[in-house]
Structure 1
């Protein structure tokens, strides 16, 4: 009789589920010693695990009730203030979920990616939270293939229906920013964006264009500039916008760092904020509070996104059904001191009072 030797193979939770004829969630329940699994099903899953030695250093620990509880947070950089805010939310929520953190800075090099994947699969990591700066579908496809639970924060592209994610209302934020600036009399609004490949960028631009259309303002492609999310990009692209024959009276940026670069470019040219040019950022990091004048933002709830992702991942690890695979958090306007009436009008009373009143209602006032 031919007996297959599994001793030198590694098996994923998905393969264990298929071999046992159960769902991945059921295997997770068995691993985590949940009581809501029948004795017969539990015995069948444990037998398959024992026969196939599924990632022994992960399963054997779990079955002995000595769960490591490690979660891998993958971020594009630790230099970006937005990533630090997400990290803060993740770190605060992990103890409540009885989980611990490992941190990975994502790289695009194939060898680095393979090394990361091997460390996740072969180690004691039980789940992954992904914050990706570009459309790298291969990351979550590989995790899904390996049967490892994951949640994506601020999806970089279009996800399938079974890919859990936490994002924000990017389209509504883009529309709200333009509506607010229009209420102050602005019609010539520049927009400094990241990559056209990013779905969040496309959504914000679509919201921007929708608000222009509602206000019957023609769309001007010359006012749309693309760069990275850095301070330098904000500085360079703002300079290009100011060099136009008809420079904008207001600027939108996708990050607070870009806004800081815009501040620098405006300051060097002797242009005052907000008396001559207004600035709004799509973020909400510590920079918004610390620069002068303080920065009006379309708030991205980064901290809450980190917390929500951990809650979703905990439910996946415990075999619980999610209320929905896609969570979108609201993006309110935080009004500070970087926006004012268009230059020709130096009083708020002259700039669309009805629209102004609409924005003053129910808005969160920043520090």
Structure 2
């Protein structure tokens, strides 16, 4: 088909958004923005696209007539973490109430896995996709836009697509509060085990830790900061490293509960005790940490609620509704148990 040639308008040949985009000399997302009434399109482009849509008989389907697939896609990088279960629980609660099913997938950070997931999704329809701690590579973004599939991101890695709503927690504030709590217990050498640096939530937690120290008139000591990945092994490695320093910390703030439990094991193997010899604080408030010994003081992030909000948002987008805020953060809360004690107390 050459540019400018009329597109067949009979019932056997329905014009596609891609064809309209080619005729107008614009991208598919631009045509989609025009169709959805978005304001971020120039008047000249809007007029040209609208003219082509009218000329070729493109029919906008009203939100009320949208065909429901009865499915939400929930995509993780990995499924080997208890916090994934909490997010799934929240999505499932909303999906069940809406009479919608949930398809859970893991793409394992490999492009081949992402391609396989996308190929599988093309074989069925979906209400929308919820990505968790994922990086949406440009080809994947472009294909989801082309398919006009709503996307919501929970705890994005890197800068999310401008049009995709994101759901998170107040990571900076939670980390600030946890560090302030340890400072209030007279700890001054506080070790920090960070999460993956590519995740926005990880960077926010590290920044909150630094901010609390600076407010207290202390400088963050890079020797007391260990780069982890949110899993038990990194907590054990980080705890072993920090406890092995010539001047070890008196408290360790691990930026995930799993890493905090890894620190517990590092403490145990050195013949030390929590919190008698070293205080430990985590982040997440996973169900199991209230049953460990001693029960873990941690920052609760509302994982199940984040999943619920993500599911409600993607269902709203699927029905053509607008989302008021592109970035929503739910409040965190410090849950005080028995794993931190006053220095020298």
TM-score by length of 2: 0.82
Call closer, same or farther: CA 1:243–1:3 in 2, change over 3 Å.
Answer: closer
Aligned residue in 1 for 2:340? 339
How far apart are residue 114 of structure 1 and its match? 1.5
How far apart are residue 195 of structure 1 and its match? 1.8
* Superposition pairs of residues 170-189 of structure 1, within 5 angstroms: 170-189=171-190
Counterpart-to-counterpart distance in 2, 1:290 and 1:106: 32
Is it true that 1:258 corresponds to 2:244 in the alignment? Answer: no
Aligned residue in 1 for 2:273? 272
Aligned residue in 2 for 1:48? 58
Aligned residue in 2 for 1:92? 93
Aligned residue in 2 for 1:36? none
Counterpart-to-counterpart distance in 1, 2:162 and 2:290: 37
* Superposition pairs of residues 171-210 of structure 1, within 5 angstroms: 171-210=172-211
For structure 2, which runs of at least 5 residues remain unmatched after alignment?
A: 22-27, 39-52
How far apart are residue 100 of structure 1 and its match? 1.3
Aligned residue in 2 for 1:303? 304
How far apart are residue 17 of structure 1 and its match? 9.2
1:281-331 Cα distance to aligned partner (Å, 9 max, x none): 111112212211111111111000000001111111111121211100111
Q: How big is the alpha-carbon RMSD for the aligned residues of Structure 1 and Structure 2?
A: 3.1
Aligned residue in 2 for 1:18? 31
Are the equivalent residues in 2 in contact too, given 1:17–1:23 (CA < 8 A)? no
How far apart are residue 147 of structure 1 and its match? 1.8
* Superposition pairs of residues 81-160 of structure 1, within 5 angstroms: 81-133=82-134, 135-138=135-138, 139-160=140-161
Counterpart-to-counterpart distance in 2, 1:275 and 1:298: 21
Counterpart-to-counterpart distance in 1, 2:109 and 2:32: 34
1:219-252 Cα distance to aligned partner (Å, 9 max, x none): 1000000122211111111101011011111111
Aligned residue in 1 for 2:330? 329
1:87-132 Cα distance to aligned partner (Å, 9 max, x none): 0000011122332111111133322211212222342112001102
Are the equivalent residues in 2 in contact too, given 1:252–1:281 (CA < 8 A)? yes
Counterpart-to-counterpart distance in 1, 2:189 and 2:206: 15
Call closer, same or farther: CA 1:269–1:341 in 2, change over 3 Å.
Answer: same
Are the equivalent residues in 1 in contact too, given 2:283–2:298 (CA < 8 A)? yes
Are the equivalent residues in 2 in contact too, given 1:20–1:48 (CA < 8 A)? no
Call closer, same or farther: CA 1:8–1:243 in 2, change over 3 Å.
Answer: farther
Counterpart-to-counterpart distance in 2, 1:243 and 1:147: 53
TM-score by length of 1: 0.77
For structure 1, which runs of at least 5 residues remain unmatched after alignment?
A: 26-42, 51-58, 347-367
Q: Does the residue aligned with 2:74 lie in a helix, a strand or coil?
A: strand
How far apart are residue 173 of structure 1 and its match? 1.4
Counterpart-to-counterpart distance in 1, 2:137 and 2:188: 38
Counterpart-to-counterpart distance in 2, 1:208 and 1:45: 59
Of 295-304 and 106-115, more deviation after overlay is shown by 106-115
Counterpart-to-counterpart distance in 2, 1:110 and 1:89: 27
Counterpart-to-counterpart distance in 1, 2:282 and 2:145: 34
Are the equivalent residues in 1 in contact too, given 2:71–2:127 (CA < 8 A)? yes
Q: Does the residue aligned with 2:108 lie in a helix, a strand or coil?
A: coil
* Superposition pairs of residues 49-88 of structure 1, within 5 angstroms: 67-88=68-89
Q: How many residues align?
A: 315
Are the equivalent residues in 2 in contact too, given 1:82–1:285 (CA < 8 A)? yes
Aligned residue in 1 for 2:42? none
